Amino acid sequence: MAAIYSLYIINKSGGLIFCKDYGSAGRMDTNDTLRLASLWHSMHAISQQLSPVSGCAGIELLEADTFDLHCFQSLTGTKFFVVCEPGTQHMEHLLKHIYELYTDYVLKNPFYEMEMPIRCELFEINLSQAVQKDRVALLGR
Amino acid sequence: MQFFGATEINPSPPAVTASGNNAHMIYIFNRNGVCLLYREWNRSLHTLNAQQDQKLMFGLLFSLKSLTAKMDPVSVEKVNLGVPQLPGQGCSFHSFRTNTYKLSFMETPSGIKLILVTNPRTGDLRESLKYIYNLYVEYVVKNPLYTPGTPIKYELFNTTLDQYVRGLG
């Protein structure tokens, strides 16, 4: 049983730059993931417009019937979101950690072009380690 | 999808988690997207006019529902993104939270959508929304003068709703 179902990273204009699936049922092709990412980008923006008080920064947690979606937006507008089992704790820490990995292994990579899809081997290795560690920590609790 | 067998109002409303008025507003939409009720209690920010605001809210819920139906990691059979779904079909959602507010959402089998916007630290409001739905059934649907699909303008419903929401955690 996977605690985390999938991870998405979208750039500041709503384009999907990274997507990793950790075992969700059903098939989703590349077009579907791209559409979902840009849909989430728009919903995030609309939720700020509908805020009853000022200073809203968009959706942080969406609780659906079968999953939770945790979203973290960096100061530059890059959004990281994970789809996980309902009630999974400490996802904010994982997202912040993934953001650290992103800055270290993607942004500091001289061959990476900004806002383009992420193809960095070291990032993927460290990411899978972080997710694995999170899963082990979850089993230990 | 849960169905509501009993329509009579429970003798005691569900327990509240904390005291104090921290609800911002409530929306009730019917299945065609007509806003049957909009009430606000403390809303300091109005970015749009009332009609635009209601349309945007309905659009947000509609799109979030198609997003959750498509993203559902448990079901194998999923419809394409954007295909309209009947109430109770596909994976829906019950709340989302931002840093400034929490939105709780419930859809009944007949397609009535109840939306309650509260303080971000409020707990689970699913039972409270069911109770508000019961109020709607008792005070609006059972009113012989009410024409379905028209905005709700009943003093008794509004005061009962205000009273209940004021005590909400």
Check pLDDT > 90 for residue B55.
Answer: yes
User: How far apart, in whole angstroms, are the C-alpha atoms of residue A14 and residue A130?
Assistant: 25
Residue B9 resides in a domain: no
Domain residue extents for chain A: 4-140
Calculate mean pLDDT across residues B105-128. Answer: 94
Tokens of B164: 């209940």
User: What letter would DSSP give residue A67?
Assistant: -
Option in A5, A25, A64 nearest B68 (CB)? A64
Chain A residue numbers touching B71 (CB-CB < 8 A): 36, 64, 67, 69, 83
Mean local confidence (pLDDT), A2-15: 90
Query: For residue B16, is it within any domain?
Result: no
Class (C level, CATH) for A4-140: alpha beta
Inspect the interface and report whether the beta carbons of A25 and B74 lie closer than 8 Å.
yes
**Spatial separation of the C-alpha atoms in residues B32 and B51, rounded to whole Å:** 15
Checking if the pLDDT of B14 tops 60, the result is no
Judge whether residue B106 has pLDDT over 60.
yes
Number of domains in chain B: 1
Rounded to an integer, the average pLDDT of B58-80 is: 91
For residue A30, is pLDDT > 70? yes
* Average pLDDT score, chain A: 91
DSSP state letter for B48: S
Instruction: Report yes or no for ipTM above 0.85.
Output: yes
pLDDT category at B79 given cuts 50, 70, 90 is confident
**Which CATH number do you get for residue B54?**
3.30.450.70
Residue B5 falls within a domain, yes or no? no
Q: Is B2 on the interface with A (CB under 8 A)?
A: no
Residue B14 lies in a domain: no
A35: Cα separation from own chain's centroid = 15
Angstrom distance (rounded) from CA B34 to CA B46: 20
- pLDDT interval class at B12 (50, 70, 90): low
Task: Give the pLDDT confidence score for residue B17 in this predicted structure.
Answer: 45
d(CA B1, CA B107): 9
The domain in which residue B139 lies consists of: 23-71+82-166
Tell me, yes or no, whether B4 lies in a domain.
Answer: no
Assess if residue B2 is contained within a domain.
no
